[in-house]
Amino acid sequence: MSMTMTQKILASHAGLEEVKAGQLIEADLDLVMANDITGPMALPIFSQMADTVFDKDKVVLVPDHFTPNKDIKSAENSKAIRDFSFNQCLTNHMEQGKCGVEHAILPEKGLVVAGMAVIGADSHTCTYGALGAFSTGVGTTDIARGMATGKAWFKVPSAIQFHLTGKLNPYVSGKDVILYIIHKIGVDGALYKSMEFTGEGVKELSMDDRFTICNMAIEAGAKNGIFPVDEQTIVYMKEHSVKPYEIYEADKDAEYEQTIEINLSEIRPMVAFPHLPGNGHTIDEIEKEEPIYIDQVVIGSCTNGRMSDLRKAAAILKGKKVANRVRAMVVPATQKIFMQCIKEGLLEIFVEAGCAVNTPSCGPCMGGHMGVMAKGEKCVSTTNRNFVGRMGDTQSLIYLASPETAAASAIAGYIANPEKFGG
Amino acid sequence: MKAKGTVLKYGDNVDTDVIIPARYLNSFDAKELASHAMVDIDPTFVQRVKPGDIMVAGKNFGCGSSREHAPLCLKTAGVSCVIAKSFARIFYRNAINIGFAILECEEAADDIEEGNQVEIDFDSGIITNITKNRQYQAQPFPPFLQKMIAENGLVNYVNHQKEN
């Protein structure tokens, strides 16, 4: 056989010996997730197909987008999924103060492990590929059907192999890697495909780096991003989960549409300019031009709100002040991360520096609330999209960057090289 | 099944944030969503669109978020079909799942202009540009997906499967 890692997971979940790219299959799902935007819309569709969920251990609803509820309509939506969660006796009930941003909380609570097939009604569900799982974003009708039947239809994807070598330099992290890759292949460079990361460079990437990289696979159009399971993955899973995991490996002769060599040592801090994640520039290119003055910095989200992200931002912000003209907000992605920040003294560093520290929420990333921008304002953000109007007014501008670049920019007041603000 | 209408044309990478911005996602009422369709890329869309109109765009249409509100608001606004060079994958499956017609056709996406009168025959995949008197052949859907579109979406398909 000659299957990719993704194809092997899909074959096993479809009860097939082998699948080929382009084949349409029905797969059994191990986890089905929705949030407070997509969940409420799915409930009336769900009720056209079933009265009870297919498995109360395998359906999870996360209130994270407009929470803490920004208005009455949002409160009604949160209430709809809360009531459903209790009425269906879902094993994993999520609530503000006890959870966090969906793609950070699911791995942290051990709900996703290697070998699983997961769908989520959120495009960044591809994050869990970091754990060696197949996971992908779908819409509301798919998720309603998944909740009702535990099944989804897929067209088996072909794959692009990213062969990683070398080692990241200081002040370069997973965000720079994925911005570099999307810049290289374009925002539809992996359309309908898997992005499979391989090579000796994998071991040089932390789990948080891998979550960030897989998180933004969708920004290259991919169906999923996936990393092989190694010792780091196993340590992470043992620390967070009691679920049995299954390790799938691509066949030696797996067919890839393309192999792209990525030398991690050569990657520089990257910034994606408005209005596409593929519009990347290296920090060196930026430094040669006139400074780009900014109004806002956001450090957080399902892309970069994890512990190592906040540690790196804090190392740069320690003992420094956010520039006068800038407002900076730090949003730990989960309550556990929030608590760890308290224990390690990071909250003190952020507050002393003049950052607003917000409760876990997706709010500012999609212009929902808690960080919406006015006309003409510019933001350096560790989030994942810089589309027109994404964070507020259609004439506001978003520059996507790593937590370290964002922290350095908050201090400088313009897009800055983290190497020069070293912590 | 056929569609006929006037073309509204857009470029590459029309994302779901401009099709329906997140600030309106505290509702999933189809009519309310439709009243804000395309507002961040074309504030005149809602006034201009007429039932049956056809949207034509470049590559990677519907990239970004998984919000099914995006195809739903276009369908409810009266758009009968989107023709694009390519679709982002979640938009693609969401459209099929709600029975909203989409077609991939690079030649049509390049040649058709704003305001052209276009007719689509979904059975054959033939797109006729009445204004320019030209025809284009779109990629046909695999039979599984044709069946789902014919049954007006995934819910009917699933319920029909249960009955058998």
pLDDT per residue of chain B (164 residues) written in tens, 0 to 9? 789 999 999 999 999 999 999 999 999 999 999 999 999 999 999 999 999 999 999 999 999 999 999 999 999 999 999 999 999 999 999 999 998 999 999 999 999 999 999 999 988 899 999 999 999 999 777 777 878 877 878 999 888 887 76
What was the pLDDT predicted at B146? Answer: 77
Does residue A388 sit at the B interface (CB-CB below 8 Å)?
A: yes
Please enumerate in sequence order all residues whose Cβ is within 8 A of that of A243, keeping only pairs 6 or more positions apart, or say none. A110, A111, A113, A237
Question: What is the C-alpha to C-alpha distance for residues A349 and A339, in angstroms, rounded to an integer?
Answer: 14
Report the predicted TM-score, pTM, of the whole model to 2 decimal places. 0.97
Q: Does A345 lie in the same domain as A284?
A: yes
Question: What is the C-alpha to C-alpha distance for residues B97 and B94, in angstroms, rounded to an integer?
Answer: 5
Write out the residue range of the structural domain in which residue A126 sits: 5-264
Which of A236, A264, A292 terminates a domain? The answer is A264
Name the E strands within A254-325. 258-263, 270-272, 280-282, 296-300
What was the pLDDT predicted at B160? Answer: 85
Mean local confidence (pLDDT), A73-92: 98
φ, ψ at A325 (rounded to 5°) = -80, 0
Write out pLDDT tens, residues A287-326: 999 999 999 999 999 999 999 999 999 999 999 999 999 9
Cα angle, residue A216 at apex, residues A27 and A199 outer, rounded to 5°? 80
Question: What is the C-alpha to C-alpha distance for residues A220 and A191, in angstroms, rounded to an integer?
Answer: 7
Kindly tell me if the per-residue pLDDT of A226 is higher than 80.
Answer: yes
Strand order in the sheet with A59-62: A59-62, A31-35, A117-120, A134-137
Q: Does A249 lie in the same domain as A103?
A: yes
Mean local confidence (pLDDT), A114-128: 98
* Count helices and strands in chain A by DSSP H and E runs: 14, 17
CB-based contact A396:B17 (threshold 8 Å): no
Which of A264, A292, A326 terminates a domain? The answer is A264
Mean local confidence (pLDDT), A183-205: 98
Q: Does A288 lie in the same domain as A181?
A: no
Q: Does A152 lie in the same domain as A30?
A: yes
Longest CA pairwise span in chain A (Å): 62
- What amino acid occupies position B9? K
List residues forming the annotated binding site of A: 302, 362, 365
What was the pLDDT predicted at B85? Answer: 97
CB pair distance less than 8 Å for B17 and A385: yes
Q: Does A77 lie in the same domain as A179?
A: yes
Smallest CA–CA distance, residue A41 to chain B, in Å, is: 6
Kindly tell me if the per-residue pLDDT of A164 is higher than 80.
Answer: yes
Residue A231's Cα: distance from chain center in Å?
22
% of residues, chain A, pLDDT over 90: 99
Cα angle, residue A106 at apex, residues A105 and A111 outer, rounded to 5°? 140
What was the pLDDT predicted at B143? Answer: 79
Q: Pick one of 3.40.50.2300, 3.20.19.10, 3.40.50.300, 3.40.1020.10 as the CATH number of B2-139.
A: 3.20.19.10
Structure tokens that stand for A77 in this block: 């939506």
Pairing between β-strand A378-381 and β-strand A397-400 as defined by DSSP bridges: parallel
* CATH code (residue A347): 3.30.499.10
Complex-level ipTM: 0.93
φ, ψ at A323 (rounded to 5°) = -55, 150
Q: Does A275 lie in the same domain as A260?
A: no
Q: Does A402 lie in the same domain as A281?
A: yes
Q: Does A243 lie in the same domain as A278?
A: no
User: Where exactly are the structural domains of chain B?
Assistant: 2-139
CB pair distance less than 8 Å for A38 and B68: yes
Q: pLDDT averaged over chain A?
A: 97
Q: Does A128 lie in the same domain as A12?
A: yes
User: Buried b vs exposed e over A37-65: b needs ≥16 C-beta within 10 Å?
Assistant: bbbbbbbebbeebbeebbeeebbbbbbbb
What was the pLDDT predicted at B153? Answer: 86
What was the pLDDT predicted at A423? Answer: 62
Residues of chain B in Cβ contact (below 8 Å) with chain A: 13, 15, 17-18, 21-23, 25-28, 40-41, 59-60, 63-69, 71, 86, 88-90, 93-94, 97-98, 142, 144-145, 153-155, 158-159, 162
Smallest CA–CA distance, residue B135 to chain A, in Å, is: 27
φ, ψ at A297 (rounded to 5°) = -130, 135
Smallest CA–CA distance, residue B93 to chain A, in Å, is: 8
* Cα separations in angstroms, B69 against A37, A38, A145, A187, A420: 10, 9, 17, 22, 44
Q: Does A302 lie in the same domain as A253?
A: no
Does residue A354 sit at the B interface (CB-CB below 8 Å)?
A: no
- What amino acid occupies position A16? L
Q: Does A154 lie in the same domain as A13?
A: yes
Mutate to test the interface with B, among A142, A193, A195, A370 (most CBs of B within 10 A): A142
Long-range pairs, B30-34, Cβ under 8 A, ≥24: B30/B72, B30/B73, B30/B75, B30/B76, B31/B76, B33/B69, B33/B72, B33/B73, B33/B76, B34/B73, B34/B74, B34/B76, B34/B77
Q: Does A303 lie in the same domain as A327?
A: yes
Which of A206, A235, A264 terminates a domain? The answer is A264
Number of domains in chain A: 2
- What amino acid occupies position A126? C
What was the pLDDT predicted at A202? Answer: 98
Mean local confidence (pLDDT), A70-80: 97
What was the pLDDT predicted at B164? Answer: 66
